Structure 1
Amino acid sequence: MTSSRRTLVTVLVAFLLGALFTATPASAEEGWRTHEGAINGADYLVKVPKRWNGTLVLYSHGLYVEKWGKPERIWLATRPETETWLLEHGYALAASNYKGVFGHAIEEALTDQIALLDWFEATVGRPRRTLTSGMSMGAVISVKLAENNPGRFDGVLAQCGEYDTKGTWNSALDMLFALKTLLAPDADIDLVRPRDPEAAQAALEAVVTEAQKTEAGRARIALAGALGTIPGWALAHEPEPTAPADRLAQQALWVTGAYLYGYGPDARPEIEGRAGGNPSSNTGIDYRRQLARSTGLDLVRHAYRAGGVDLGADLDRLAAAPRISADTQAEAYLDRYAVARGTTPSPVLTAHTTGDGGAVAGQARWYGDQVRRNGDPGLLRQTYVSRGGHCSFNAAEEIVLLRTLSSRADTGHWPSTDPRRLTAAATDLGPAYRLVPELFDPQGKEKAMPPLFTRFTPPAQPRPSR
């Protein structure tokens, strides 16, 4: 993998995961006190304003991958500007890096975050309100913290979340299965339970890289993306593309830049080791039917016409290819730790960008369905920002969402979540809070982007767990 590609993948994947107690003394810092230490081996960071307003925000980070090194800091919000604003306005902030730090450490997070909350209440004081916030993998952690601990949290902010992690792994398997079957049907590439993860990863990468050089190869990558309802919008700093060629190119960025690397053979040992086996399956899946339901169907048809490829023949090949089964205990593991139930013991506010292909917006729709079945729909509000990229919110949007959730916790009633009102409130915060990272830039370039909440109905998640 080239250096620039490795940097790109690091940015993407880092966003889509002594004694029992040690601590350093609290220190004064610009109007707040900082506490750092470890609880049962999990590092934590806490900041408490000298004029604390009584609200604590417990933040859960996303996925970190060990091969690309330990994060430089413990994050207390999705954006650093959000952290500063919250502290300056009296909010206390806390976060654990979870035991082990790396990988799909959801099981550890659900224990370590509660241990940190216990420590805070015993050491700093009992908050008047406790909110839990998280992004990407941290979003399902935040939701499940509230579900598993009724009465401990007064509200949940879940940003760019994968609420059905098992469904994501199934969808990723669909895409990689299509790539292997259509681009390298005779290659010895293990998509699950890999005997040689690095070799399998290298072989699949080589096949996909070669396919990108031809119209026919790009058409088959488009088909893989459509099976996962991956949008044709990836670049946060650019408007949503309209030309089919541009949409295909940006959809391919997601397929090759997120799923090939984040869910490929090289990523399998970590999740399979945690789950006790392979948690994903495509047994009984009809890909012709799945494509027919996909919002990417028209784009696939365009790509196949341009490439002079027979779409029906490729769908026949997918139908005839041997399927992959999951290990029951591994599925049960994800069901227990990484799939939200939607029980809403406290109010939940979700946020998603409309062009998110790392955690597709259908995840939010799926979570809303679970709340309607198992919880109280009146406790849920769902918001969307018109922008490409995964978790590509600016601080203004994050701050307004946290203020909205705080208001719900304080008053017992939701304030308006009309997109125009949210956009106006975020705009009023000023230009200092508008920076958005470009995940597909190797240097992680940031650019000021205006807040832009919007009305949006996501497509259905293609492979829901239930």
Structure 2
Amino acid sequence: MHTVSIVTALLMGLSPVPAADQVQTVPCPTTLPAETTCHGGKDTHGAYYSIAVPRNWNGTLVLHTHGGPDLGPPTQDRSTDDLTRWSVLVREGHAWAGSSYRRGGYGTQMAIEDTENLRAQFTRSFGKPRTTLLHGQSWGGNIAAKAAEQHKYDGVLLTNGVLAGGSRGYNYRVDLRVVYQYYCGNHPRPSEPQYPLWMGLREDSTMTGSGLRARLQECAGIESPPAQRTAQQAQNLKDILGVTRLPERTLASHLNFATFTFRDIVHNRLGGRNPFANVGVRYTGSHDDVALNLGVQRFWADPSAVRDLSYDSDVTGSISVPVLSMHAINDPTAFVEHDAAYRASVTHAGNSRYLVQTFTRESEHSALSDSGYAAAVSALATWVKTSRKPTAASVAASCPAFDAKYHQGCFFDPGFTPNSYESKVYPRPGGRHWPALSSVQAELWKRFYPGVGIAP
């Protein structure tokens, strides 16, 4: 199984766009405008979808790629909930379509194909849109950014996107996984079967999310008021947060991802191969960095696993249509530095003319102000129509007019620029920001990674 690449493992069973199936009319979420027509169903690959067409449709279709990934089986509720959350786009006169994807678990290329299948179905049922915009949120931002390099859209909107790609976009969760185990020693416990932490979890483990949270509480008192934590819990939590640079309020969700989603990536998508590495990373921010760096678990990545995960999800910046991003500066889940990573990729590819990035003084990941979304999608649509590129300042200036309608506030900060991705996440060997290796390290690198270059 180890020789099976993610090209096969992720795309196994994919086929051309399915034959047309009859879209069914369903009740609309109450957040949509009156006289909107909604449709839902399941395509021949098993992906559920939701479609909404407002009475006075302006001819623009917004295709939505959702975040996650969800690890359970797909449901109609997934796409219906997305439609509810992004109802502002329908209220702005756009048609909307979103897929649940055909299965749970990681798979950027899978999600792209399911989104393209839905686009084809929309066109069969309602005619070709005058304009098609792709909107990706969170992991869906990664999906949309990757799709924009492979398919033709008129414009792309990325909100709170995971834009550093799979091969390095989760390194801060790799660091959390090993740092947590160093301080807590209960995931796994010494009495349980041991496994390398890059797996996230044993393939056959029956651990649940609530069980994992109980272990986090046991070690760091995460659910207790600070005054009720033991001295050891308080110290553990301080060290974990100090080293990983993660916010306390999303620590549990990050550890959940580093456990269950890592298991899915490694066991279900990569045939047991390891795409993650932390050899050479020097962790700082604890009460005893020397002891931490001597004691934390270390591992090399399997180059073939890195290659396959990179093929599936890493972006190259090869865009040729307008792309506008909006990211909360204090996003606690997909850090704003992801946008710095994306800008670097686009700039390296020589395509900066196609990218506008905006940032907001907000602190949530899953949803931002409807006024901001309306301003962003309007700026993108106008850019597509007129070829006049907006600026962060012009998007911010347009927001109050939309806020008069939605009353959720305008929080754009046109003067903000995020620091580099590596300023937030410890860089890895071979990365552009990795320091020069010693001669001994270089020799070991060549021995274990033949054919893989060493960054200067």
Residues 271-320 of structure 1 show CA distances to partners (whole Å, capped at 9, x for unaligned) of 221233344433423224xx3xxxxxxxx4xxx6xxxxxx2x34333234
Q: Distance in 1 between matches of 2:83 and 2:386?
A: 24
* Residues 1:111 and 2:71 are matched in the alignment: no
Q: TM-score when scaled to structure 1?
A: 0.73
* Residues 1:451 and 2:455 are matched in the alignment: no
1:46, 1:93 within 8 Å by CA — same for their partners in 2? Answer: yes
Q: Distance in 2 between matches of 1:457 and 1:223?
A: 29
Q: Which moved more, 1:34-43 or 1:335-344?
A: 34-43
Residue 101 of structure 2 aligns with which residue? 98
2:51, 2:97 within 8 Å by CA — same for their partners in 1? Answer: yes
- The percentage of counterpart residues that share the same residue type is 22
Letter paired with 1:258: S
Residue 444 of structure 1 aligns with which residue? none
* Residues 1:155 and 2:160 are matched in the alignment: no
In the superposition, relative to structure 1, how do residues 27 and 353 fare at CA in structure 2: closer, same or farther (>3 Å)? Answer: closer
Distance apart, 1:153 and its partner CA? 0.6
1:396, 1:451 within 8 Å by CA — same for their partners in 2? Answer: yes
Q: Distance in 2 between matches of 1:410 and 1:173?
A: 43
Residue 427 of structure 1 aligns with which residue? 400
Residue 237 of structure 1 aligns with which residue? none
In the superposition, relative to structure 1, how do residues 399 and 204 fare at CA in structure 2: closer, same or farther (>3 Å)? Answer: closer
Residue 72 of structure 1 aligns with which residue? 77
Residue 395 of structure 1 aligns with which residue? 370
Structure 2 residue corresponding to 1:277, chosen from 272, 278, 291: 272
3-state SS of paired residue (1:427)? helix
3-state SS of paired residue (1:178)? helix
Structure 2 residue corresponding to 1:414, chosen from 389, 407, 426: 389
3-state SS of paired residue (2:324)? strand
Q: Distance in 2 between matches of 1:66 and 1:111?
A: 18
In the superposition, relative to structure 1, how do residues 456 and 37 fare at CA in structure 2: closer, same or farther (>3 Å)? Answer: same
In the superposition, relative to structure 1, how do residues 136 and 28 fare at CA in structure 2: closer, same or farther (>3 Å)? Answer: closer
Residue 53 of structure 2 aligns with which residue? 48
Residue 185 of structure 2 aligns with which residue? 184
Q: Distance in 1 between matches of 2:304 and 2:95?
A: 39
Distance apart, 1:423 and its partner CA? 4.2
Q: Distance in 2 between matches of 1:47 and 1:204?
A: 38
Structure 2 residue corresponding to 1:38, chosen from 42, 64, 68: 42
Distance apart, 1:155 and its partner CA? 0.9
In the superposition, relative to structure 1, how do residues 44 and 392 fare at CA in structure 2: closer, same or farther (>3 Å)? Answer: closer
Q: Distance in 2 between matches of 1:423 and 1:352?
A: 13
In the superposition, relative to structure 1, how do residues 431 and 320 fare at CA in structure 2: closer, same or farther (>3 Å)? Answer: same
Residue 23 of structure 2 aligns with which residue? 24
Q: Which moved more, 1:352-361 or 1:385-394?
A: 385-394
* Residues 1:225 and 2:230 are matched in the alignment: no
Q: Distance in 2 between matches of 1:254 and 1:414?
A: 36
3-state SS of paired residue (1:110)? helix
Task: Choose between structure 1 and 2: higher strand proportion.
Answer: 1
Structure 1 alignment gaps of length 5 or more: 1-18, 231-250, 292-299, 305-310, 435-448
Structure 2 alignment gaps of length 5 or more: 1-17, 29-33, 222-228, 432-456
May I ask how many residue pairs the two structures share in their alignment?
384
* Residues 1:210 and 2:219 are matched in the alignment: yes
3-state SS of paired residue (2:106)? coil
Distance apart, 1:406 and its partner CA? 0.4
Residue 167 of structure 1 aligns with which residue? 168
- Matches for 1:283-298 after TM superposition, within 5 Å: 283-288=278-283, 291=284
Distance apart, 1:219 and its partner CA? 4.3
Q: Distance in 1 between matches of 2:213 and 2:26?
A: 50
Q: Distance in 2 between matches of 1:397 and 1:252?
A: 27
